[in-house]
Each structure stands twice: as C-alpha cells, then as structure tokens.
Chains A and B, each alone.
Chain A
Amino acid sequence: MPSLLSLYINNKAGGLIFHRDFSSAAAKLDINEHLTLASTFNGLAMIMRQLSPVPGSSGMELLEADSFVLQSFDTVTGLKFFVTAEPESKHLDAVLKDVYMLYSDYVLKNPFYELDMPIHCERFIQKLMKLADDYNKRG
C-alpha cells in the first residue's frame, strides 16, 4: 500500500510554515534544508506556470518521479499545500483538501496562532497524523 512521505505548507511569501514526515522512508534533511527547498518550490511553481504549453495553466499540480510523486494544492489565499508520497499513490488531491480543512479548523480558529507563522497547534498535528495513518492503511 503506497504511503505518504511528507507534507509541506508554505505561506503566501513562500516561507515554510509547516512540515511533517509520515514515514521513515521520507527524505532525511535538516531543518534549514527543508526551509530552503520549500521556498524554492514556490519559485519553481511560478516557472511551471509560465512554461506550460497549455495556455491559462494554473501551474504545477502533480510531479511524478521514479521514486516518488509530489502533489500540490494552491489555496485562494496564496498558501501552498504539497505532499510527497510513494509512487502509485492515489487520491492525493483529496488528501490535500482534507489537510486544508484541518488547517482551516484547527489552525485558523485557534486564537493563539499568528497568521503566516510556523504552525505548532497540537490538535492540528494530532488530526493530521490520524489522517495520514488512515490513508496509509487504506491507500
């Protein structure tokens, strides 16, 4: 059963505000590398939008490589949610939408969370790990 590897959330400015690994197979990088790579992603997505052979493209959604797939979701507010998973993973867009729902519940309704800052909300993380567990079991 293909499993999720990692989740990244970027704020409007392209800074990484959340990252979580769901599997021991996820890339092992230190925190600074995560930050750099995540901000590079925003630039990359913008380039994809320009380079697209289809006019009016909204940018990169899915990237398939030999050892992983990466699915990205842009919110209307400028946030980017992207997840890496093992190849042959399905329904990643649904997973990202669920994560967005959890975000809007447990992060945005939390009075002690500052917008665009790194996310440390315990309930968000708990629900997220449960979501990842359920996905990894069901596929």
Chain B
Amino acid sequence: IFLMRKALDRPPRRAHEVSQSAFAFLFSELIQYSQTRVNTVEELQAKLEDAGVGIGRRVLELACLREKSSRRETRVLGILQFIHSTLWKMLFGNSADSLEKSVEHDDEFMIIERAPMVNAFISGAPCNCAAFVAGIVRGVLDGAQFPAHVSAHEHEDNRTVILIKFAAEVMEREKRQA
C-alpha cells in the first residue's frame, strides 16, 4: 500500500518501479510474519492469499486510472485479458506467459507463469508462495464484479498455474450477454 501511495504521487511514466531486492525482503518478512500466526500449511497459504486480495482491489483502481480508458470490462474474456497483460505488466514488467481455458470446466480459466517473480528467491517452501499472486488476482476480479475462486498450483519444471473458477452468477451473466 505504501508502494501504491508513492506511485500515485509521480506522473504516470515508467518511474514507478521498485527494486526486486526490496520487494523480495519485504515479501520474505511478510511470509515469516504470517508463519508465526498460523498453525498449518493451508492456513499459511490462505493468509498469503488474503494479503494479496487487498492489494488486488487497490491495484485495479490504479490500473484503471493509469489506463485512462473509460471502458469497464463486462465480459469474462475482457477482464481475463486485462489481468493477463495490463495488470501483469504493471506488477511484474511483462505479460503473463499464457492464458488458457479449461477443457473440462466451462467456468475455469488458467493464467500460466513459468517463473513467478515473487518466488524468485524462495526454495524449499512448504507451500506455494504464488498464493499471494492468486490473492491479487482474486482481489482484482472481486473489484471488477467477477467473483471467483482463485488458487495457485505448482507443476514440475517450475510452472505455476493460477486457476480461476468463476462463480455461477458470473457465468449466467456471461450467457445472457452472449
């Protein structure tokens, strides 16, 4: 939030970048702080996700402000593409690696990132700290009126999948608009 406030004061140029080391230490401290307040691995993952949600809501506002577009996303594909490119670029410097639709479930989509920046220096973790990123995505979707369940999963070769499962009302609304 401190980062957000600093960024707002500057004119919207590429000046609002934060060193990766600074973020890494802050994130590491966030994880250690959370670890002392939970008892299980699932709780730690949930706590990290919740930390991301608040950031997601605020980052949505900031992104829309910087984007200067007066168009509000109302379609599922629209908001997903917004997250996959604009939002990712704002947070991590380039768009996510890919955006996919699940073949088995109509309401599931996946954002795939080969080496999530938040996990750059972390190894031997009991849970996937990309849960933080999943929380950010959930916050963005909540703020944009697309309630969804978002989780982070790690596959071999370090690929992280952010799984987005939209709530039933979102899919109904989508059908009505089609």
Q: How far is the CA of A105 from the CA of B28 in the complex (A)?
A: 12
Chain B residues closer than 8 Å to A123, beta-carbon distance: 121-123
Nearest Cβ on chain B to A102's Cβ, whole angstroms: 10
Q: Does B11 contact A (CB under 8 A)?
A: no
Q: Does A33 contact B (CB under 8 A)?
A: no
* Pair A111/B32 contact, Cβ less than 8 Å: yes
Provide the main secondary structure of the chain B interface: helix
Q: Number of contact residues on A: which range applies? A: 10 to 19
Other-chain contact of A121, B27, B28, B123 (Cβ < 8 Å)? B123
Query: What 0/1 readout, one digit per residue, does chain B (85-122) give for beta carbons within 8 Å of chain A?
Result: 00000000000000000000000000000000000111
Other-chain contact of A122, B21, B31, B120, B123 (Cβ < 8 Å)? B123
* Pair A110/B124 contact, Cβ less than 8 Å: yes
Interface hits, B21-72 → A, CB 8 Å: 21, 24-25, 27-32, 35
* Pair B121/A106 contact, Cβ less than 8 Å: yes
Query: What 0/1 readout, one digit per residue, does chain A (15-30) give for beta carbons within 8 Å of chain B?
Result: 0000000000000000
Q: Given the known A-B contacts A111-B31, A111-B32, A111-B35, are A124 and B123 also in contact in the complex, defined by CB atoms under 8 Å? A: yes
User: What is A's interface to B at a CB cutoff of 8 Å?
Assistant: 105-106, 109-113, 120-124
